[in-house]
Structure 1
Amino acid sequence: MRFSALFACAVALLFLTAGASHAAAPGITGEMQKKYEAMQSFTAEFTQRLVHQESGAEEVRKGTLAFQKPLRVRWETKAPHGELLVITDKEVWDYLPDEELAYQYSPEVVRDSRSVIQVITGQTRLDTDFSVEAEPDDNGLAVLRLYPKDPSPQLVEAILWVDKNTKLIRKAQILDFYGNTNEVTLTSLTPDAPIKAGTFQFTPPQGTTVENLMDQVAPERPLLQ
């Protein structure tokens, strides 16, 4: 069920004014920015928890993530359903093996700083694109609440849990316009990890239906959801 257009405008305005009123960004924000600017790659395992606000349905997924600058990503979900997302500077592949279906997109669909992918990989510009508010620490992790200065339906608020020693994101929770949450916890995170050749290459297996959507500015289905 979708909100009315009037209510949508009211909520968007609320987030804009709320973000504008926040104090200066916490000091750790600048330290994080420097860390991610210096880091060229990382690998991690992840647990993803998706909660649908209206139905209360919850789904937990597990998988692996590899990242390499400028924005190469391999996000592979192992369970309960396989999915492979491969991002390069030339194309984006979203492959669903259970459905024998692959979507092919232009890299423009993930270059928005408000995308879930940009947030999880630490590539968002916290100092320019978000208003950042410090929350109380959680089990030794610094907690930052982010309000995008230009909210989108996919991201109206985010929370980051940051290791205060390494300045790396250990968990990110994304709230979309409809109240759904997408929470990703990173484990076995290895900064500047060596990336194997071919990690960011993908060729659809024989028999796969390919939907070529290179001319679309937004994905057919939300990525990482």
Structure 2
Amino acid sequence: MRQRIFPLLCSLLLLAAMTAIAQAAPSDIVSGIRKRYDSLQNFTATFEQTLTHKESGNVEKRKGTLRFKKPLLIRWETEAPTPETLVVTEKEIWDYLPDEELAYRYPPDLVQDSRSIIQVLTGQSNLDRDFDLAEEGREGGLRKVRLYPKDPSPQMVEALIWVENDYLIRRADIIDFYGNHNAVRFVDFKSNSGVPASVFSFTPPKGVEVEDRREKDAVPERELFN
């Protein structure tokens, strides 16, 4: 009887240990991401973005570059299929649409929410405070983690991130209230590459119409980074 009970007991103990490791994994990822991005002062990345509209089934693919510098300076330039430049500073946000010869000016608080895709992609979201996490194994060599906002917004009811072994976020997929997906994948990533502050300055070209929407409770003409 002892010979049968011992292997069974070992199996149960091993299963319990594996379960504990699986439950602890998101905490390990959270602390790893926090430490990694605490040491990250800036980065430059090229990205591929896929926007999927659930109701119509339409899929739009974009590509461009992202430059980031702490605390939250952003230059997001979409190159194709339609050019767009988004510049985030401590004082304002610029959304420049060259083909329309139009630039919108917004207050910076529009991107200071942890549930913003740009906060997630740059590792600035407060994961342990604002989300419940569930690890879903590996995909393409990356650790896959599902995020559930504790206070969902129409722009994010669920999200996925894919994390490298060095705890850098390489992919993210933001799902909104309507089931639409905003998926971004970094093709190339260079950390602490010395991005100058001048990259994050923006002056509308001559002849471009400017719509200033920095007043309180401003609503973007279009969802930023989407």
Q: What is the TM-score normalised by the length of structure 2?
A: 0.87
- 1:132 counterpart = 2:133: yes
Contact 2:77 2:85 in 1 (8 A): yes
Contact 1:26 1:134 in 2 (8 A): no
Larger Rg: 2
Distance 1:130 1:33 in 2: 14
Deviation at 1:202, TM superposition (A): 0.5
Contact 2:62 2:80 in 1 (8 A): yes
Contact 2:37 2:123 in 1 (8 A): yes
List aligned pairs for 1:71-150, cutoff 5 A: 71-150=72-151
Alignment coverage as a number of residue pairs: 203
Name the counterpart of 1:188: 188
List aligned pairs for 1:1-225, cutoff 5 A: 25-164=26-165, 166-215=166-215, 216-225=217-226
Contact 1:100 1:208 in 2 (8 A): yes
Kindly report the root-mean-square deviation, in angstroms, between the aligned alpha carbons of the 2 structures: 1.4
* Distance change in 2, residues 1:197/1:37 (3 Å): closer
SS in 2 for 1:183: strand
Deviations 1:185-215 (A, max 9, x none): 0121011111135200111111111110001
Amino acid at match of 1:135: E
Deviations 1:57-87 (A, max 9, x none): 0110010000000000000001110000000
Distance 1:79 1:220 in 2: 20
Distance 1:112 1:28 in 2: 21
Amino acid at match of 1:189: F
What is the aligned-residue identity percentage? 54
Contact 2:94 2:202 in 1 (8 A): yes
* Distance change in 2, residues 1:55/1:72 (3 Å): same
Distance 2:24 2:147 in 1: 12
SS in 1 for 2:120: helix
Distance 1:144 1:221 in 2: 28
- Worse-superposed segment, 70-79 or 111-120: 111-120
Deviation at 1:158, TM superposition (A): 0.6
Contact 1:25 1:127 in 2 (8 A): no
Deviation at 1:109, TM superposition (A): 0.7
**Greater share of residues in helix:** 2
